């Protein structure tokens, strides 16, 4: 799996410690960029309630499907490591889904402060 992250110029200035949103967008195989799926199609640890970003027409036409993630980013606050979610077990089908995504060289896309 590969990660593509886009940092967009903020529409406002952040205060130290202020939360910076991180959205998961889509995923799909590098070999076919027109084949895209929602990020949580794979069994990543998801927030308890799905919260979608309001998108403009260009984003919708581009196939964007931005959802809020469990990642907590605070402006100018360093973090060595921190669990994103509590430990959980994957069943056989979920493991197979991740294995297939790795074999097919899937990418996934995040947007920070969009």
Instruction: Determine the pLDDT at residue 9.
Output: 52
- pLDDT tens for each residue of 57-113: 767 677 778 888 999 999 999 998 888 888 889 999 999 999 999 999 999 999 887
Alpha-carbon gap, residue 109 to 27, rounded angstroms:
6
What is residue 23's three-state secondary structure?
A: strand
pTM, 2 dp: 0.74
Note whether 64 and 110 are within 8 A (CB): no
The percentage of the chain sitting over the pLDDT mark of 70, rounded to a whole number, equals 86
Alpha-carbon gap, residue 11 to 86, rounded angstroms:
33
């Amino acid at each position: 799996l590969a990660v593509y992250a886009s940092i967009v110029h903020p529409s406002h200035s952040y205060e130290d410690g202020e939360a910076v949103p991180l959205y998961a967008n889509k995923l799909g195989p590098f070999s076919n960029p027109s084949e895209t799926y929602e990020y949580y199609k794979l069994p990543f640890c998801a927030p308890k309630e799905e919260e979608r970003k309001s998108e403009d027409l260009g984003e919708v036409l581009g196939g964007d499907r931005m959802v809020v993630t469990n990642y907590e980013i605070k402006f100018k606050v360093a973090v060595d490591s921190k669990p994103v979610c509590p430990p959980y077990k994957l069943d056989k089908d979920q493991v197979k889904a991740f294995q297939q995504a790795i074999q097919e060289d899937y990418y996934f896309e995040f947007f920070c402060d969009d």
